[in-house]
Every structure is written in structure tokens, then in C-alpha cells.
Structure 1
Amino acid sequence: MSKRTSDSKVKAPLSALAARRLRQQQLAAQAEPSDSNSNGNSPAIAPGAEATPTFHSKDISNISPSTPLKSRSPSAIPPKETIDSAPDSDIDIPRQISNFVQTEDNYVYDTQTLETTVKLRRGESFVIQGEYRISVISGNISICGAVVETSVSLDVIAPSTQALPVIECAPKSKKRKVEKPARKDGGYDAIFSLHSTQSGLNDVGRICPRFDRIWKPPLTSTIVKSKGSDSFTPILTAIQPTPILTLPPSWQPTITTLSSTKQSPKSIFIVGGKSVGKSTFSRYLLNNLITNSQQSSVAYLDLDPGQPSFTPPCILSLHKITSPILAPSFATFGSTEIVRQHHVGYISPREDPKYYLRCAADLMREYRRLVEQGEKLTLIVNTCGWIKGMGRELLHELVAVCEPTDVVGLGDVDGVFAEILPEGKGVKRHTLEAAGTGNAVGNTPGSQQFTPADLRILQTIAYFHQRPKVSGISSGSSDNNSPSFDFEKHLTAVPPLIAAYKGATKVIHGVTILDTGIAPDLIFTGLNATIVSIKLVKNDDREHPAIQYLENMYDENNDVTPYIPANQFDGTSGLLTAEGTVTAGLAIIRGVNEASGELQLLMPIHEDEINGYLDDGYKILLCRGRDEMPVYLMWDWRDGRAGQKERRGTGSGGGVDKMPYLDFVDGGEVTGKGAKEWKVRRNIMRRGQQRR
């Protein structure tokens, strides 16, 4: 039995919260500047929130926007035995996010240009959350697979919904010869500037509070303090884990091999299950091809309708990309040239695999047309995560359609390769580890968790709040590729576009609901307050089944609603053939005026563009699929709260009674139109169940 020393005391057991507070107080004491640095100047390193380690949900809205973010570096995770031997798992240990050490020389803010200059040496890393423009002054840097050279500027959007990108020194690009910069300013290998930018996405929390904190730093972290970083926050250490974007060891050699110009153009087909990093690998490869090879542009075929990279959900698309993509999927609208896209109406190909394959084949024909015109475009094909059962059969069909030169498999895909790849055709196989094996990309335990469904909602909300751009019908590009969004007004406060669907002035020539049979008098009950795709069909395309149906069933000048019942055809594929059909984008049907034959439409497409389609001889068809309508797009939650307060104070319904599809909990009582009891008829039941 051990003896108690004279100065030992019996300690009361500590709760997890008390232990955490004690640990954070010790860390804060260690982080205090020494007396030798107490010269009245602000410290170079600023603790984010160690002085107030405990927060309640009601306090979150009062946290300053400059409060730093959470992040976690896989390279900084302690060894496994260290983690296992921790006496209390609730006591967090600071993790190094950036190994950059700020000094007065390597991090300088200019009050005149409002830019921050950062100087890096090889081996140093720098992680930033937020929005910013990065401009390389000397040397080269790498970020998200892109090698950024001297005199190049790129916009970066890095919220906490995805792993944060890492900025590092990089060797000179293979794309063109760059003279080695003179070793000056202390022998730094790369010097770049940071400038605050505002795309409008930082206000997304006004529309959907679920994403209010995606731009805010971790509650407890160490950040670089700067007056100019009003839209971004460099992070040095963090107690609360936030993932940073680092690649598994096997990825980089494969990306280097695929970026080689020995065989060009390549067709690279990417396969893997869910959440293995297909989109991340595709993004890294895309950026590396554009910036670190001889190719000035890359073709990107997105065949994942559930988590697309550049469009809202339920769309397959072909893009021509000429600059690196340094933003998450919900912030990429307008950053690529959309060569062609098809709205399939579902987040999975399982609902209509035949139409899915037809759309994919049509997009591949468009890619081959570009190649025949002389464009040497390497093709990246990103597929969905359905690799079992029918999904594997679809992959086999897609391989036949795309004819890849290289197939990249992430995770356990040996069985998939054996079934989907043809023998003897020289297709190169690359088997890589899944990204999730080391928590290198994506969410990690303890960080802000967002499911694929959450991110689809965010992507849809961002799509409908982007600022409209005027563009020609043959090109989806714009001179300004930087995304721009407006969350100042809720969609319910935005004046809709009025489009007639009857009479001589009609602009909507047909409406349909995918895979659904509905009585003609209930058409707008099924369409109102839903998301529809805007389909374009040439008026002189007499072979198109939709044109044939409209001419056979409807007089051009009558006042009958031009309803096209999709269930009379071969699923959806017979009516909405991919050949000859163009998807311009999505719209929300805000309201219907059946008396005047008009629809109210909300869409991020400029009215001049819609008029241009009509002038070019296109008929417009509206098609409703199974696109999810986020409730926050049609309900202003701030107005709803105000309505509840009015109800308590005056007895009037206020904003609550304006929401026919919703109910609210008000002091334990469920209120609102949606809370009223539904009266149903029970005509079919067994005799023993009937009341006597």
C-alpha cells in the first residue's frame, strides 16, 4: 500500500466539464505572452476563445464573427497509444492545423491596399477558412491539387462544410518554364497576398439557420490575428476537430501519372462506393491537369445526380473547365462552361435507369463532337456511389458508353473491376485507398456534421439565390466566373416572372410530371410550390416525341392546359428523349393563375435569356421530377417567428397563418394551418374493425 505524503490532499472527483475547464485554463496560461513581449503591441498569435470555454446554444448568436474556426490535421493527431492512455477523453488536446509560425516579417497587412502578404518556406503549411483571393507574388504554391504560379490570382471559398484546403509551397509547374525567383526577403520559397472577397454566401444563414455557422471559426482555437481578414481566418491550432484536406498516400502518384501527356487525350473513369472521395479525387485531378500539365482545359462529365459537383441535384452534366476549382459544390455555379446538361429528376439512377443511360450517352456524344472539332480535352467521368446489384450493371453500361482509357477505383473495387471492365481492350486500372480511411477528407467526429441530404439542401438553396447572368444559348459561360449570391431577400419577397401557358402569348408550351399519372384538372395541384426543370425543344424538330404529342393533341391557339402525361410513354425516357432536349436550368412554381393561364416562376435565369430561347425557335416545357424543395426556400423562418409573437400578443395569426403546409409549437400548443386535424374517410375496413 502506498503512503500518502504530507502535502497531498484528497481531491474530489471532477466532472468532464470541470476537467475540460481546468485543462483550457492551463492552456490559456501557457499561451500568455511573456513580460519581454509586453510592449503595448498586439500579440502576433491570438487565442480564439480560451477565456470563455463554455458556451450554451443561446449564446452562439452573440459570438463575434472574428471568433476562429475548428480544424484538425491528420499529421498532427497524437499517436494511438497517447490517445488511448488519456485519462479523460473529454479533455481536448490542441491539434496543429498550420505549421506556419507568424512573425512581423512573414505576415504583413497593408492598410492602403487592404491586402495581407504571407511568406512561406518549403515544408510550411497554411490553412484558412472563409472567402479570399490569393495572388502569387513570387514562387509557386499548391492548393487543392492546383499549382498556382507567379502573377496568377484565384478566388477560394472554404467553409466548414468540407475539409479546409491547405496552402503549401510547390515546385514550378510543368505547364511552362518559370524562372527561379531570387532568394530574398529572408530566403522564402513562396510569397503571396490575400484579399477579402464577398460572394454573398456568408449570409446563407439568413435563409437557412442550419448553415449559419459554416463560416465561423472554432469556438476554441488559435488563429492569426489580422485587421484585413474580415472574410477569412487563418488557423494555427484548434482544440475542436475540423478536417483539413490532405490526400491518402496512394493518390498523388496516380494523379501525377494521369496528368502525364504521354497519352492524350485520356478518358478517366472514376468508380467507388459512397463517401470514398470520388469527388475529391476528381477535383484534385482536375486542378492538377489544368495547372500542372500542358492542357489548358479539361472536360468533366458528372454522372452523380445525388451529389453533383457543379449543378443542383438531379442533373447530369458535361462541363468545359479552364481554371482550377477552389470551392465546394454549392459555390461553383457559373465557374464552368456548361456544354450540355440533362435533368433526370431523381437523385439516384435507380428510379429510371434507362433514361439515365440515354442522358449519359447523349453527353458523351457531345464530348466526342468537341474532340472531333480539334479540342484535345482530357475527360474526367465522376460516377455515383451505387456499385452493387443494378448499380454495377449500370457501371458496365457506362464503361461501354464512355470507353475510358483509365479506370480509377477507390476502396474495395476488385469485384467491381472484374465485372464492369472489358478484357483485352487495354484499359489501365488504378486501385486506390478510400479517402475516409484516415479521416483525411470529409467530416470527422466532433466537427460540424452535414449529411449528403444536408448538402443537397444547401446546394439547392444556393442555386436559387445566385445572381442571374445573361448568357447566350450556345454557351453557358460568362466573362466573370466568380460566383455571386444574394441572400438579402427571401424568395417569397422576390417578384416572380410571369409566364403564360395558354393563349396566343404563351411561352410555356407543355408541362409534365415524371413517372406519374394525374388527372388533367389536378395538374397544378401537383405542380404548385415544386421545383421544375426548364426543358428546351426546337420547334422544327418534328421527330421529337414531345413535339409530336403536342401537335396531335392540342391546337396551338386553344385555351387548354398543354399537359403531357409521362406515364403514357416508356417511363420518362420515351417522352423526354435526351436527343434534341436541352435543360436550361431549374425554376420554382411560386403560384398559378388558372383564370388568366399564367404561372409565377422563380429562377436564377435572367428573363432576357428565356426570351432568347423563344427567339431562337425553342419551345419551353416544364418538367417536375422528385427534386426536393427545401422548406426554407418557401418559408421565411424569421417572418414565421414574428408571426408567433403576434399570435401571443394580439391573438392574430401573423406569419403563422400564412404557411398552409407547416405547423408550429407555440408554448406547448401546436398552431398554424398545418396543425389542423385531417378528416379522412374509412370506407375500406374489415367488418370486425367497424364500430357497431
Structure 2
Amino acid sequence: MISAVAARKAALAAKTQSEPQLPIPESITPPPPQPPLPNGSQKRKSTAQKQKPQKKARKLKPFEKSNGPRPTEHVVDVFKDQTDVIVLQSDSDDESDDAMSVLGESDKEPVVAAEKRTWSPSAPMDVSSDEESLDENVTGLDTSTLFPHPRRSRQTEEIVSASTFRPALDRNMFYLTEQEAPDMGMGEKGTLLCLNAEDSLCLLGACHLTVLHGSIHLFGATLRPSPRQYPIYAPRSSLLPVLTASGDSSSGLKVEKLPPRLQRLAQFPAVIFLQELNTGVEGLGLICRTFEGVFEPSRWYDGKKSQFNIAGLHMVTQITKDVSSFTIPGSWSAALDGISTRNGMYIVKGPKNSGKSTFARTLTNRLLQSYSRVAFLECDIGQSEFTPGGLVSLNIISEPILGPPFTHPTLPNHAHFIGSTTPRSTPSHYLNAISALIQTYRLDIQNPAIDIDADDERISDAIPLVVNTMGWSKGLGADLTQKIESFLEPTDVFDIRIPDSEPLATNSYAAFNSSSMTDGSNARVHVLEPTTTPPITAFTSADQRTMSTLSYFHARFPLDAVPTEYGQLTASSWDTSRPLCAVPPYEIDCGVAFDKVILSGAGTEDVVEEEIGRVLNGAIVGLVKCDPGTLDVEPPAPNPVGIPYSRQTEPPDPSTSTCVGLALVRGISSPSDDATDTGNTKTYLQLLTPLPHALLAGSRVLVKGEMELPVWGMLDFREEEEGDVAGVEKENVPYLQWGKAPDGAMGAERRKVRRNLMRRGQM
């Protein structure tokens, strides 16, 4: 039997006899063809070599049988000049690469190496010059041809630049001392930054920002020179702000009062002043450990020292998997540039994770350039912008929104308590509450009678409305959104749509825009593309909702201030030194302070009067204020727990009531022993709430929904000091039980599953 290599060489040798012989170099002698072995002298192959079946001979065409190869074609033998060895480069420096010798079939026959070629299953191919130039200084075996696929690096994503601004001390960045800052009217020390037209600055952390010269774009807002200090909150859990200089040449600098080293500041398109911001918002990460360190660079960052000499403020140079910057898609810019309707009502809708809330925030900032106030109607009770979840609220906004929702908890001007993060269980109450807020806007807010500020050139006798809908865009959610749209009769509809198959270009979205809706209304429809910024997967919507709730209960509002009819009251500090279980609560006589206690939500109609205390313990409740004479107060009936509760009571009518805020029932005292003959007892509620005292006095109705306090809010985050517990001991934390549950408690033991039961067919 002839081996495959020997048969191939014998066939090639037979073909070359009829061809003209080419000149052969003296240094290279082709090996002679190996004759076929007789049948009796077949070599025995090793066990490691597999026996391959003999291939059938190819049938020749009639022309080939008679005449052999075509005379007009020159058959080139690709295996003729190929050596049977792999060329290895020597490690010695004295040997020449061109005259390197290797051993052939016999160690005594030196064969000159042929040209270096890459590996191929058939014929070798020449290596390109570009690849050779990369490895010309590398010695040893070239393994790039053996492993065609490169190894995956740790960071395979594309590096995107976030900041093009390069700070240079005393050139475009100046540190103001405690003596220089008051002379410029800044009060405290800080850092001056001079931005050129092509510069972009991405910030991480918290700071006070003041525009001194020119103007800058930030989160869709244009900030112009003024003594106003804007608080900037930029955690890694949300989109980071990017500052860019605009073409406005206005200036608030007084060059004659500047030090000599700052005389050339007016030559830059924009000059800003950054100062340290101490509000305690960073402490929220100690309470909710998911957000721990979000105002600082991640552990993958090379250095954590601030480039601006400001504690808690950093510059982000590259976008990684841990951070994302704010960018406006092209269709968003085109839609924002086209809003010029006076007394406009704008509704934003779209599916979840499409940038709907981000666009509503950007739209509000853009409207604040032309209007002194903007009304914001929040219909997304899962992820609200200014209040915790479970509320539909109407807020009057007068300041740009420069941070995520948990950094600006606001007391709403008008709100209604739904008590859940979804309207699935109470859709009718949800629609009635939104309808009442729209009616309040039209009657009391849309055309206000307020004094006009002569220094403010913006429109102050009209307040536009921005409506942010929920991300539930299918089934019942789509029907509720359509109903809200019919209540509002908007002037502009911003519809964010996610393409089903391939992503559409920006001009493709613009092609969908129309001047009227399909149902015959006069609203302009702007079809927008979803945000192109990748979501930060480390923080889910549930995490953001938890953070907003904890931020609300730890926020500090002025105790003697209440939101005015057209004013905005936002928290400016947080008290994170103590957990909620260590904060002294308000103790209120439930029978005297409240006229009614109402349960709302699925399954609450089955709660009997004797169990109302257990249901309220540890719950988040809404404090509702009703108009005088609109609440039907029944005479007190004998109640063993002393709480004015009756089964199957509907929540107050949204048209005659408003929710001033939320409270946490930290505990309920047991009924007193001095019960009268009528059976009435006194029960005290321990409430925790950040609301001012003036708002608490008029809240006579307590409504409990489906919302509960997150587990993070129940824990004591303070660490032990020198063996002593700094606060509440672990075993005494309310609402939590550590270790094994007592015997006989439902769910205390691990569930047992029997797997030895037989089916009927197995019997």
C-alpha cells in the first residue's frame, strides 16, 4: 500500500517528465520520487497514527485520457519548492537570517531555509510586510500564525473621552485664596476654570457652580453670569453632567477689581467658579450600601485626588463601564429647538429605560430659559422626580434640575397619595388624582397673577406644563396614558419609540414627525429616538426608588417654611448621622389628631378593626389635608384599639383634598389601662416625617397604601466603637428578627418537599 505523501510525489514526478525542465539551483536538489512499495513490504504504522481509508481515483475527462494535460496551460507545482520542515529563527546574534540552515529528513543533509511563510492547511502563503515589520525585533517562534484569534484583553470596550478640558495651573485654572475670593464677591475660596469654545468638562461629585463670564450648557440648561450659586450633584449612579461653553459673550467680571494674574480672564469664552458643597448627601451611601461611594471615583480609578483642589469633586476624562455622561441625541435637539408655543402643555411618553424621565428633565431646563417658572406634573409613581414613589404631584419649578431625583426632594405644591408604585390595583383613583391636578393647573397656575421682576427678562405671567408619564406602555398602562393625554389636550407630544428591528437614523425619526395627531387633535407629535447612553446596570429602578425614599426621610426642610402657591421648597441638606430607628419621633394621640384612618390597595378591605394596629406598625403613610366641610366625619364608635378606622372606606376625593407628604409609623403604643365604660382607649402613634410643623397641623386623614419601608431604612448603619455599640443594638432593631424564628411560627422552618410520591402510572 502506498502512503498518501509518496503517491502524491510519484504523481507529480510523472507529470513533470512531459514538461520542460526548469533550471534548478545548485544549492537545492529536489528529493527523488519515492517508488511504491510492494505489497509484501508494507511498513507497520504506529498505534498513534490512524489508518485513513484509501480515496477513490478521480475519473479523468476524455481529453485528459488521450492527450494528458492541456498543452496551452503551464501546470505549476505548488508543493515542488516547499520544504518539509518548519523554519525556526535562531536565538544567537552571530548567525545571519538569510543564511540560516535547518535540518531536513536526514541530519547529515543541510537544507537552506526557504522564505518565511505562514501556516496553511494547503499551500503556504507569503507574510505581508506590515506584519513582518511589527515582529522584526522579536526573537523566537512566531505564534501569531498558530493562534489566529487574539486573546481578549481585560478592557475590550472602546475608550470614549468625556472631558477635552486639560487643566493647567495659572493658565486656565486658578486657585483663589481666602483673601482673593471675597474681593471678587465669591465669599469663600474656590477654583476658577477658563473654558474655550471646544472644551468639555465632565464632573463627578458635588460642588457649587457660579458663572462669572460667558455662559455654559449643562443638562439642557444655559447658565448665564449671575451671583447665583447652582448646586451640582453628579454621582456615578446617574448620568454625569458635561459642561460646554456657549456663544454668549455676556460678562459679570469687573476687570479693574481682579488681581494682576487674573486680568486676562475675559479673553476666554466662559469662566466659572467652583466651590465645595457640604450638604451631607454623601452620607446616604452609608444608609443604602448599594450607593456607597457613588460621589467618588470607583476603585478602578488610578487616583482619587481632586484635580481642582476641592474636596469631593473630580474630573472624568474617559467613559468606562462604571460611569456614563449626559449626551443629547440629534432628534432631541431638533425637538427642543422647536418649542416656542406660549402657554404650552407638553407630555412625554415612552417605554421604560428609553430616557423618558431624562428628556422631561431636559425639557424643563430648556423651558426655564424663557419662563421664570415651569409646572411639572409627575404621573410616574414608580420613579418620581421630586417626591418619593407612590405620589402623583404637581410642582412649580423655578431652578434648573442639576442632579438625579434623590438629590432634590421637594415638597409638592399639590399632590395625591396613591400608595403604590404601580396603578394596577387602583386605576380609577389614579386617573381621578391626575385629572384633579390638571384641573388645578388650569384654574390656579397656568396664568398666575404675580409681580413681574424687572431684572428678569423671562416670561413670568404664564407657566407652561410638562407631564411625565409612566414607563408602562402596554395593555392597561397604554390605556391609562392615552386617558391622561385626553385629559390634558397637549400642545406638543414627545413620543420616544424604540425601533423593533434595526436602529433608525436621526433623520428617520424626524420623518415621523407630524403637525397633528391621528385622532384629530391639534397637538404636534415629535417622535424621538431613545437615549444612546448605555444604562448603568449596577443600579436598577428598584435601587433608585429605595434611594429616593430614604433621601426623603433623611432630608431637612425648614421647620417654619411651607411651599407657597408658586414657590418651590427643596431640601438643601441631609441628616445622616443617625438611622431612622434612632431618631426621636413625634408622639400623637391617634384619636385626637386624626379624623380618619384609611387603608388603600388590594386586600385591605379584609382588615378588621382589631388588627389595624398591626397593619400600621412600620408602614409608610400619606398625610392628607381635606377642604373644610368636605370630609364626612362619623361619630366615634366603640373601638377597642382607639384608632378611627372603619372597613371598606374609600380614599378622600382628589378634587377636595391634597397630600402634604409622607410619614413613617415607627411604632404604636398599646391601649392605656384607664379605659372608660364606653370602651374608648387612647392609642399613640410614633411618626417620623421631615415635613414642617405648619403642614402637620392641617393633616387630619391618614392613608396607608401598599408601600413599605425598605430594609436599608430599618438597619443601624453605625459601627461599634471600642466594643460599645454606637446606637441601637442589632437584636433591638425594630421590625427585624435575627436568627431562628420561634417554634410554631409560620414560615420559620425550611419547607420540606416529598420526592417519594408515585404517579398513578407507576403503581
TM-score w.r.t. the length of structure 2 is 0.67
Q: Tell me, in whole angstroms, the C-alpha distance in 2 between the residues paired with 1:378 and 1:306.
A: 24
Q: Which residue type is aligned with residue 229 of structure 2? A: S
Pick the aligned partner of 1:102 from 149, 167, 179. Answer: 167
Tell me, which stretches of 5 or more residues in structure 1 are unaligned?
Answer: 9-83, 542-546, 614-618, 648-653, 665-670, 683-687
Tell me, which stretches of 5 or more residues in structure 2 are unaligned?
Answer: 1-84, 93-147, 182-188, 256-262, 450-460, 501-511, 673-681, 750-755, 758-763
The structure number with the bigger radius of gyration is: 2
Residue 140 of structure 1 aligns with which residue?
215
Structure 1 residue 106 displacement after superposition: 0.8
Contact 1:338 1:476 in 2 (8 A): no
Contact 1:471 1:477 in 2 (8 A): no
Residue 371 of structure 1 aligns with which residue?
446
1:586 aligns with 2:662: yes
Structure 1 residue 228 displacement after superposition: 3.0
Q: Secondary structure at the match of 1:287?
A: helix
Q: Tell me, in whole angstroms, the C-alpha distance in 1 between the residues paired with 2:629 and 2:296.
A: 53
Residue 435 of structure 2 aligns with which residue?
361
Residue 194 of structure 1 aligns with which residue?
274
When residues 483 and 421 of structure 1 are mapped into structure 2, their CA distance, relative to the original with a 3 A threshold, is farther
Q: Tell me, in whole angstroms, the C-alpha distance in 2 between the residues paired with 1:209 and 1:603.
A: 22
Q: Secondary structure at the match of 1:400?
A: helix
When residues 410 and 180 of structure 1 are mapped into structure 2, their CA distance, relative to the original with a 3 A threshold, is farther
Q: Tell me, in whole angstroms, the C-alpha distance in 2 between the residues paired with 1:324 and 1:407.
A: 22
Residue 729 of structure 2 aligns with which residue?
655
Q: What is the percentage of aligned positions where both structures have the same residue?
A: 27
Q: Which residue type is aligned with residue 110 of structure 1? A: L
When residues 509 and 422 of structure 1 are mapped into structure 2, their CA distance, relative to the original with a 3 A threshold, is farther
Residue 493 of structure 1 aligns with which residue?
582
Pick the aligned partner of 1:351 from 425, 446, 460. Answer: 425
Residue 177 of structure 2 aligns with which residue?
111
Q: Tell me, in whole angstroms, the C-alpha distance in 1 between the residues paired with 2:550 and 2:530.
A: 30
- Mean alpha-carbon deviation: is it higher for 89-98 or for 177-186? 177-186
Q: Tell me, in whole angstroms, the C-alpha distance in 1 between the residues paired with 2:268 and 2:663.
A: 51
Pick the aligned partner of 1:509 from 595, 615, 624. Answer: 595
Q: Secondary structure at the match of 1:100?
A: coil
When residues 646 and 663 of structure 1 are mapped into structure 2, their CA distance, relative to the original with a 3 A threshold, is farther
Pick the aligned partner of 2:475 from 389, 397, 418. Answer: 389
Q: How many correspondences in the alignment? A: 555
Contact 2:203 2:234 in 1 (8 A): yes
Residue 122 of structure 1 aligns with which residue?
197
Contact 2:598 2:646 in 1 (8 A): yes
1:193-592 map, 5 Å: 193-221=273-301, 225-226=306-307, 228-237=309-318, 241-258=322-339, 260=340, 263-291=341-369, 293=370, 295-334=371-410, 338-369=412-443, 370-373=445-448, 375-412=461-498, 423-435=519-531, 438-439=532-533, 442-443=535-536, 449-470=538-559, 475=564, 481=570, 483-502=572-591, 506-515=592-601, 516-517=604-605, 518-541=607-630, 547-548=631-632, 550-551=633-634, 553-554=635-636, 560-565=642-647, 568-569=648-649, 574-592=650-668
1:42-81 map, 5 Å: none
Structure 1 residue 255 displacement after superposition: 0.8
C-alpha distance after superposition, 1:410-449 (max 9, x if no partner)? 12499x999x9562222111001011xx325x416xxxx1
Residue 158 of structure 1 aligns with which residue?
234
1:630-649 map, 5 Å: 630-638=710-718
When residues 319 and 677 of structure 1 are mapped into structure 2, their CA distance, relative to the original with a 3 A threshold, is same
Contact 2:391 2:418 in 1 (8 A): yes
Contact 1:221 1:237 in 2 (8 A): no
When residues 270 and 239 of structure 1 are mapped into structure 2, their CA distance, relative to the original with a 3 A threshold, is closer
Q: Tell me, in whole angstroms, the C-alpha distance in 2 between the residues paired with 1:85 and 1:121.
A: 44
Contact 2:419 2:705 in 1 (8 A): yes
1:88 aligns with 2:168: no
Q: Tell me, in whole angstroms, the C-alpha distance in 2 between the residues paired with 1:417 and 1:395.
A: 20
Looking at both structures, which has the greater relative contact order when contacts are Cα pairs under 8 Å and sequence separation is at least 6?
Answer: 1
Contact 2:664 2:689 in 1 (8 A): yes
Structure 1 residue 331 displacement after superposition: 1.1
Contact 2:618 2:735 in 1 (8 A): no
Q: Tell me, in whole angstroms, the C-alpha distance in 2 between the residues paired with 1:196 and 1:409.
A: 39
Q: Tell me, in whole angstroms, the C-alpha distance in 1 between the residues paired with 2:748 and 2:264.
A: 84
Contact 2:373 2:463 in 1 (8 A): yes
